[in-house]
Chain A
Amino acid sequence: MKLSVVGISHHVAPVELRERVALPEADAAELARALGDAVCLSTCNRTEIYLSGDHEERALGSLERIAGEPLGGVAYRMHDEAAAVHLFRVAAGLDSLVPGESEILGQVRSAYEAVTPGPLLDHVFRQALSLGKRVRSETAIGESPASVPSAAAALASQVFGELDGRRVLLVGAGRIGELAAGSLAARGATISYVANRSPDAARELAHRFGGEPLAQDELASKLGEVDVVLASTSAPGLVLHAADVPARRRRPLFFIDIAVPRDVDPAVHELDGCYLYDIDDLEAVVSETLAGRRAEAARAERLVVEEATRFRAWQASLDVVPAIASLRARAEEIRAAELAKLGELPEDERRTLESVTAQILNKLLHLPTVRMKQAAMAAEGVAYADAVRHLFGLEDEKKR
């Protein structure tokens, strides 16, 4: 059985091409089914078809039809162990734009579950999914945030711990602010207020997060009620001044300013219990966590190598498994026939005989089975399997 992968990814193809070839999950599954034994993985960063068998050209042709242009220059093809290792790295998040991103593992699972793959693809995908989980549990590759919005939320957690019940004031209704608010909400924070120059935008965003819209001149009055202030307006000057912050606070107040020019007075950071992170601070944190992810990626690569060795052993064992199965079946057939010749026996005697003969068979066949599997790992499996078939007269069964 031959394993192949054909595809394009962010490493080789520009976004214009990737977006043309990106398929919705149902269409990707449909394409895989049309190609036979295949799994199609399609995300915003890659579209890949994993195949068992020799229909690689058809798969590439299908991608070219979807792209509307030849892909010879950008599409990659890999076979057998290289294809398996590629899938392992993809599932582990090592081939992603941001190393260690976790979404890809779910996408690999969805692609695999959307079709009914044959034994080869089934095995390699199960291995990849298990490796993806291992990488996330045994390394810290996905622990630190990899974007400014998620870093903002992680920093808030560094101050408050669990964000459940923490109240957020969102100033500005821009896209990046909305993403950061989403990250905070995902960690349990409540977006209590949304202030914006445009009342309609404030109302719409507040409605989306279940908060209350505010006029910009009401901002200062709400600072005493909230734990996190997230500012991302396009205002030309400061929106929040140090003088606006209530003086006596028993709990910390965390300011995230992702606006350029800045919205929050830098003097806020000097106030007791107040912490202010602007866009430069957040980017420095993200850059540091990405460096950490790259260090963890080296550990993840070692897990990929281990998994590749397992795949190689499994693939090699495929050469000898039929011979081992035939040998055991033949031995069992002989044992049953000889026992049948004994005719009627008392029940306890029959049971003893069956047990003893079964043990003899197992002991006799154990070593040849182990040796054949070892030989398979050393690329001599086929020769050994042929020898066993010849010595025990299993050729006829092979033909059958």
Chain B
Amino acid sequence: MVEVFFWPALVAYGEAAVAYASPRFTRLATWGVRIGWLAQTALLAVQAARAEGFPWTTWAGSLNLFVWLVVGAYLVWGCRPRYRLLGLAVMPVAVLMLVAAWLGGGTGAAERSDLGSVFLVLHVGLVLAAFAGFTLAAALAALYLVEERRLQRRAADILRLRLPSLVVLERVIGKTILVSLPLLTLGLVIGGVRLWQDGGGIDTLMAATILAWLVYGAFLVLRPAGRTAAHLVLLGFALVVLVRIVLAGTHS
């Protein structure tokens, strides 16, 4: 049953990743993102319906959910013809992550979960949603640095191969973090309450997540401009990568 939704999602994301390479096919790419996201939503819905509890507890399962959140955030903020190059950055990565999730068994029918508690479901869901937002913000920050560099180098093709303007990118990055940080805050608070109840200690993954929270918090409080802002967002994302990839599996 889940394959019925997994393959259309993967094919549609793949189509979008390829179609974004040419300005002529931007509309086709956008439809690929939309259709793929709907198919993946159905996949997650089937997984949720079949599981007893939270169905995305394994690294592969959470990667599946993470891809859905990243593409969802991209659909909300950046799925516009002018942001074609952002799509070209986001969609191939989404395809690779979805394939990795599939290879790891994260897109199949979920087994019984040990995350039965509503608290933990909220904790994991909110933290993943926030990380998806930060991933999108990082892609936008990278795009900002590319565009800024082209303006600095006075690239002759700057009007032929157009990226979104610096001011617009700055604004969208700010909004993405403004939405994502409260999600991370709530996810951390819920996890903290559970930790306090269980009487556990802070592990490396938790420390790295709190550090990421501080970096993004500093971004919102200090509101740096230009390259500094983009670098700060990428620093926060490096911590997200550390948490999601390097330290994955070290947290219980």
Asked if B166 contacts A155 (CB within 8 A), the reply is no
A277 on the B face (CB < 8 A)? yes
Asked if A161 contacts B168 (CB within 8 A), the reply is yes
Asked if A273 contacts B156 (CB within 8 A), the reply is no
Question: Smallest distance from the beta carbon of A255 to chain B beta carbons, Å?
Answer: 12
Partner of B160, one of A250, A272, A292: A292
Q: How far is the CA of A157 from the CA of B165 in the complex (A)?
A: 7
B157 on the A face (CB < 8 A)? yes
Contacts of B164 in A (CB 8 A): 161
B250 on the A face (CB < 8 A)? no
List residues of B (159-181) whose CB comes within 8 Å of A's CBs: 159-160, 162-168
B225 on the A face (CB < 8 A)? yes
A185 on the B face (CB < 8 A)? no
Question: Smallest distance from the beta carbon of A251 to chain B beta carbons, Å?
Answer: 7
Question: Smallest distance from the beta carbon of A151 to chain B beta carbons, Å?
Answer: 7
Q: How far is the CA of A157 from the CA of B163 in the complex (A)?
A: 11
Known contacts A161-B165, A273-B226; is-contact A285 B151 (Cβ 8 Å): no
Known contacts A158-B165, A159-B167; is-contact A145 B159 (Cβ 8 Å): yes
Q: For the complex, would chain A's binding face be called helix, strand, loop or mixed by DSSP majority?
A: helix
Contacts of B158 in A (CB 8 A): 155, 158, 285
A386 on the B face (CB < 8 A)? no
B197 on the A face (CB < 8 A)? no
Asked if B159 contacts A155 (CB within 8 A), the reply is yes
Q: How far is the CA of A250 from the CA of B163 in the complex (A)?
A: 21
Contacts of A140 in B (CB 8 A): 23
Asked if A284 contacts B165 (CB within 8 A), the reply is no
B152 on the A face (CB < 8 A)? yes
A160 on the B face (CB < 8 A)? yes
Q: Smallest CB-CB separation from A290: which chain B residue?
A: B160
Asked if A158 contacts B159 (CB within 8 A), the reply is yes
Asked if A159 contacts B154 (CB within 8 A), the reply is no
New A-B pairs, 18, CB < 8 Å, besides A161-B164, A275-B152 = A155-B158, A158-B158, A159-B166, A160-B165, A160-B167, A161-B165, A251-B167, A251-B225, A252-B167, A252-B226, A272-B227, A273-B226, A275-B151, A277-B154, A284-B156, A285-B158, A285-B159, A291-B160
